[in-house]
C-alpha cells in the first residue's frame, strides 16, 4: 500500500464524514466495500456470511481493516441514526479507462504484453482471482441502490483463474512475445478469491453478463489506443 495512513483515514474518517452528511440530508448511502474484507479466505467461494481472515498488522491491513471498519460504521449509523445504507463488496474489477499505471495485475499484464516486456508474476502464480468487467459492476451497483436490502452484497464475476493462466490468457489475446517471469510473492497475498453471488441473484436479480475474455479484449483495445496516443504526442 502506497500510503497506509491516508488509506485508513479515507476509509474511516471519510466514511464517518459521508455518513454524517447522509444523515443530515437524508440520503441513501452506498459503501464501495471490497472482497479484501475476506482477507486470505479459508472458505471458497466467499459468501457474505463469511467473516473473513485478515492479518491486523500485515501490509494490507490499512485497506482491509479500513474497509471492515467502514462496514461497521455503516451498520452503526443505520441502527442509531436511521441512515439508509447499501454495502457492495466489490471483487476485482477492470475495464477501459482504468489507470494504466495503477500497479494492479490487469493493467500491469496488459501493458507488459503490449510493450513486449516481461510479464511479472508475484510468487508462483497459483493464487487465484475472479475478474469482472466494469459495466457489470455498474449495473450491480444501480440494482443494489434501487433494492430494499441493507445487507452486504458481493458484486463480482465468479470466473476464476490462477494468475499464471491469466498471464497466458492476456499474452495470447495480445499476441505478445513477452516472457513470463516470477518475482518474489507479496506478503499476505490472498491465495484464492471467488465471489458467491447467490445473494445478488436472489435480492437484486443481478448476474454478470460480460465474459472475462470479452472484457479483456475491450480493455486491451483501450490500452493500445492510449499507448498510440502517447507515442504520437512524444
Ligand X SMILES: O=C(O)[C@H]1O[C@H](OP(=O)(O)OP(=O)(O)OC[C@H]2O[C@@H](n3ccc(=O)[nH]c3=O)[C@H](O)[C@@H]2O)[C@H](O)[C@@H](O)[C@@H]1O
Whether 39 contacts 168, CB under 8 Å = no
Q: Give 15 or 35: the residue with its C-beta nearer to ligand X.
A: 35
Rounded to the nearest angstrom, the gap between the alpha carbon of residue 52 and the centroid of all alpha carbons in its chain is 16
Q: How many CB atoms lie within 10 A of CB 200?
A: 25
- The distance between the two most distant Cα atoms of the chain, rounded to a whole number of Å, is 58
Burial class, 136, CB count within 10 angstroms (exposed 0-12 / middle 13-18 / buried 19+): buried
Q: Among 121, 153, 174, 200, indicate the residue that binds ligand X (CB under 6 A).
A: 121
Using CB under 6 A as the binding rule, the residues of this chain from 36 to 55 that contact ligand X are 36
Q: Among 22, 105, 113, 204, indicate the residue that binds ligand X (CB under 6 A).
A: 105
* 91 belongs to the binding site for ligand X (CB under 6 A): yes
Q: Which residues pair with 120 in a beta bridge?
A: 181
Q: Give 108 or 178: the residue with its C-beta nearer to ligand X.
A: 108
* 120 belongs to the binding site for ligand X (CB under 6 A): yes
Strand blocks (E) in 102-189: 119-122, 128-130, 132-133, 152-155, 160-162, 180-183
Asked if 38 is an active-site residue, the reply is no
Q: Among 61, 127, 192, 219, indicate the residue that binds ligand X (CB under 6 A).
A: 127
Cell of 119: 510479464
In the set 38, 63, 77, 133, the catalytic residue is 63
Write the binding mask 156 to 195 for ligand X: x where contact by CB under 6 A, - elsewhere: -------x----------------------x--x------
Number of residues forming the site for ligand X (CB under 6 A) = 16
Q: How far is the CB of 227 from ligand X (least distance, A)?
A: 17
Give the integer Cα–Cα distance in Å for 145 and 92. Answer: 20
Q: Among 15, 34, 46, 61, indicate the residue that binds ligand X (CB under 6 A).
A: 34
Query: Beta strands 84-90 and 28-34: pairing type?
Result: parallel
Cell of 76: 452503526
Applying CB under 6 A, which residues contact ligand X?
Answer: 34-36, 91-92, 104-105, 108, 120-122, 127, 129, 163, 186, 189
Catalytic residue numbers read 63
Amino acid at each position: 500500500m502506497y500510503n497506509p495512513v491516508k488509506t485508513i483515514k479515507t476509509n474511516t474518517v471519510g466514511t464517518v464524514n459521508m455518513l454524517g452528511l447522509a444523515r443530515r440530508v437524508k440520503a441513501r448511502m452506498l459503501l464501495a466495500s471490497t472482497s479484501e474484507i475476506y482477507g486470505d479466505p479459508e472458505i471458497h467461494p466467499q459468501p457474505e456470511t463469511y467473516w473473513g481472515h485478515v492479518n491486523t498488522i500485515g501490509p494490507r491491513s490499512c485497506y482491509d481493516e479500513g474497509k471492515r471498519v467502514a462496514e461497521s460504521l455503516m451498520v452503526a449509523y443505520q441502527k442509531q441514526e436511521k441512515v439508509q445504507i447499501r454495502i457492495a463488496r466489490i471483487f476485482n474489477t477492470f475495464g477501459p479507462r482504468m489507470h494504466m499505471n495503477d500497479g494492479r495485475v490487469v493493467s500491469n499484464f496488459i501493458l507488459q504484453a503490449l510493450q513486449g516486456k516481461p510479464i511479472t508474476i508475484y510468487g508462483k502464480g497459483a493464487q487465484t482471482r475472479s475478474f469482472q468487467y466494469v459495466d457489470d459492476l455498474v449495473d450491480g451497483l444501480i440494482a443494489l441502490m434501487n433494492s430494499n436490502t441493507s445487507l452486504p452484497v458481493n458484486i463480482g464475476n465468479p470466473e476464476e483463474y490462477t494468475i499464471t493462466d491469466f498471464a497466458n490468457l492476456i499474452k495470447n489475446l495480445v499476441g505478445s512475445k513477452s516472457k513470463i517471469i516470477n518475482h518474489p510473492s507479496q506478503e499476505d497475498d490472498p491465495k484464492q478469491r471467488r465471489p458467491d453471488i447467490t445473494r445478488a441473484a436472489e435480492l437484486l436479480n443481478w448476474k454478470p453478463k460480460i465474459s472475462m475474455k470479452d472484457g479483456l479484449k475491450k480493455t486491451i483495445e483501450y490500452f493500445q489506443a492510449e499507448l498510440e496516443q502517447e507515442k504520437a504526442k512524444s
